[in-house]
Chain A
Amino acid sequence: MKIELAQVSRWYGNVVAVNDVTMTIGPGVTGLLGPNGAGKSTLLHMMAGFLAPSNGTVTLDGTRVWKNHQVYRHIGLVPEREGVYGFLTGWQFVLSAARLHGLPDPVEAARKALATVEMEEPKDRRVETYSKGMRQRVKVAAALVHDPPVLLLDEPFNGMDPRQRLHLMDLIRTMGAAGKTILFSSHILEEVERVAQHIEVLVAGRHAASGDFREIRRLMTDRPHLFRIRSSDDRRLAAALMLDDSAGGVSLGPDGLEVRAVEFRGFARLLPRVARTEGIRLHEVSPADEDLESVFSYLINRST
């Protein structure tokens, strides 16, 4: 099944949370990547029918999602907020989901869903006694209980320990390979890269980039990089670097050189070569803008 967003915007008063986003989420695993506050949750809530778009439409295979409770036959939702009744046991919680879906054999469906997330052993304990990772898995089980063709997960790996994280990643990959349409949001590139075949990048409410992880990775590496360099002779190094095209700009300060590399790979080869031929010793080479925020801000500037 396909989720289609057509020129979707959402604003709260004067604040624009999602700005004119058009995208199609098809079968397979799609990662919705963006820093915190980028509007990922808002977008996901609109896809799940829990928020009306201020503008534009969200459809599931052509039918409108908003105010249409029938879509939940096809959608499984794992919200970021707890959303779990603490006074129920894990078993009761998942079973209640199966019953609310009106499944023919709710007991078997709940048993299967709990087995999928490896929560059979603690299933008779109350949810309030669970760790965050266990709650997360119970939520996934409840979302999977009716075997939906579409699965939406909001920051599903938050609070999970590494083993649980790997298990859920495997599970998502398997379901994606089986042809389900899966969308999950995350602010961690590595997470998205490991699971998603396709990545949509959202920055400050805008759809900043789209592609498979190689394309996104390339977009993020092939941008101008800023390096801070300290060497035995900064001035001579600056002059030598300026002779090459891959160094876009060089500035000389009291703390050393700042070099803007136009192309990452080219510059990575250039710097040691120049240093060797000029006989300059490099004391420090450090990226000045390697954090995700600056990567995102580059993407958003590029897209506007």
Chain B
Amino acid sequence: MNSVVAGITYRALLGRRRIVLLLLLPVALLGLALLLRLMGSDDQRSAMLLMQNFAIGTMLPLLGLIAGTGVIAPEIDDGTIIHLMSKPISRPVIAQTKFLVAASLLAVFAAVPTYVAAWLLVGNEDAIAPGFAVGALVAGIAYAAVFLLLGVVTRHAVTIGVVYALVWEGLVGGFVPGARKFSVQQWAQSIADQISTSPFLKADVTLGFAVPALVIVTVLAVLWAGQRLRVLSLTGDE
């Protein structure tokens, strides 16, 4: 962890227009929750639908993409990363710092709004709100790592990320039962299910699989990103 690297990264992501990108989806989530509450559908079933389909199913992967690739891909694109890489700081430390920044942003912009949205609908009933908040937090950390890696490995990180988040997690994970085991969103739900006692929530993936999977994916992605950053070649304009 390097505080100067972190400081610059926070400024790049939170400065000016970029913060709007991070705020858009959480605001939409809170808006939807408020709307449901005003319409009188503040029950566990609608809370569950909102959490599964929007909070975990849409907002989390997209925010993960914005934060995870956003902490590094633009810098690699415009060459500003050279400022960090031409210093006596190990590249894995740069990658780890960027990961921590992305993870912390996801905690603030995804996990906290997830809790508030669920709380608006059902309070702390059956621990649904804390369950999904912790699920979003842990899955957000994993997404931060995966999308950071993607941002280091390829210049088409955003495209690939969108395809992954929507096609794999959304369609394949939804329809092919076997693939569901390998879905960050499903792991998030396993954790939510563990914490919540609501009868409306039934996770497909066991906690015994989800927790090790989340840890392994996160650690491997961060380590790999560090190694890739070590051999990142910067070419001139020639």
Which positions in A face B, CB cutoff 8 Å? 17, 36-37, 39-42, 44-45, 48, 50-52, 67, 69-70, 72-73, 75, 77, 79-85, 87-88, 93, 96-97, 99-102, 142-143, 154
Q: Are B4 and A96 in contact (CB under 8 A)?
A: yes
Q: Which residues of B contact A81 (CB under 8 A)?
A: 78-79, 82, 236-237
Q: Which residues of B contact A97 (CB under 8 A)?
A: 83, 87
Compute how far the CA of A70 lies from the CA of B90 in the bound complex, rounded to whole angstroms: 8
Between A and B, 22 residue pairs with Cβ closer than 8 Å are A37-B238, A42-B235, A42-B236, A44-B236, A45-B233, A50-B85, A51-B233, A52-B231, A67-B231, A69-B85, A69-B87, A72-B87, A79-B82, A79-B234, A80-B237, A82-B80, A85-B83, A87-B12, A99-B4, A100-B4, A100-B87, A154-B236
**Residue of chain B at shortest CB distance from A93:** B83
Q: Which residues of A contact B230 (CB under 8 A)?
A: 67
Compute how far the CA of A288 lies from the CA of B2 in the bound complex, rounded to whole angstroms: 58
Which residue of A39, A73, A88, A100 is within 8 Å of B238 (Cβ)?
A39
Compute how far the CA of A177 lies from the CA of B15 in the bound complex, rounded to whole angstroms: 43
**Residue of chain A at shortest CB distance from B75:** A85
Q: Are B80 and A100 in contact (CB under 8 A)?
A: no
Interface footprint category on B? 20 to 34
**Residue of chain A at shortest CB distance from B15:** A87
CB distance from B166 to the nearest CB of A (A): 31
Within 8 A of A (CB), among B1-54: 2, 4-5, 7-8, 11-12, 15-16
Compute how far the CA of A40 lies from the CA of B2 in the bound complex, rounded to whole angstroms: 33
Q: Which residues of A contact B11 (CB under 8 A)?
A: 85, 87-88
CB distance from A11 to the nearest CB of B (A): 12
Q: Which residues of A contact B236 (CB under 8 A)?
A: 41-42, 44-45, 79-81, 154
Interface string of B199-238 (1 = CB under 8 A from A): 0000000000000000000000000000000111111111
Q: Which residues of B contact A69 (CB under 8 A)?
A: 85, 87-91
Compute how far the CA of A51 lies from the CA of B85 in the bound complex, rounded to whole angstroms: 12
Q: Which residues of A contact B84 (CB under 8 A)?
A: 100
Q: Are B80 and A84 in contact (CB under 8 A)?
A: yes
Q: Which residues of A contact B237 (CB under 8 A)?
A: 41, 80-81
Compute how far the CA of A37 lies from the CA of B87 in the bound complex, rounded to whole angstroms: 27
CB distance from B87 to the nearest CB of A (A): 4
